[in-house]
Amino acid sequence: LNAELDGQRGLMEFAGDATLLYYLTDEAQEGKRAFLEKRDPDFGKYPMFP
């Protein structure tokens, strides 16, 4: 993956793909559900990486 060689277009595509991958995670779904239900999210069940 040579996003830096593809210029702005390559970087934008890389960022979009990374964002999509995050939105598909259980952690992101919990955040969305919590927001819609007007409550604090419970991220305690997900490991925290430095």
- 32-46 pLDDT, tens digit each: 999 999 999 999 988
Measured CA to CA, the distance from residue 27 to residue 34 in angstroms comes to 11
* 7 backbone φψ class: left, alpha, beta (φ>0; ψ -120 to 50): left
Higher local confidence (pLDDT), 29 or 2: 29
In this prediction, residue 50 carries a pLDDT of 66
Give the residue extent of every domain in the chain.
Answer: 3-36
Higher local confidence (pLDDT), 11 or 24: 24
In this prediction, residue 9 carries a pLDDT of 82
In this prediction, residue 24 carries a pLDDT of 93
Higher local confidence (pLDDT), 19 or 11: 19
Q: What is the pTM of this model?
A: 0.64
- Please report which residue ranges of 1-50 form alpha helices under DSSP H: 7-23, 26-36
Tell which residue, 45, 41, 39, has the closest CA to residue 31. 41
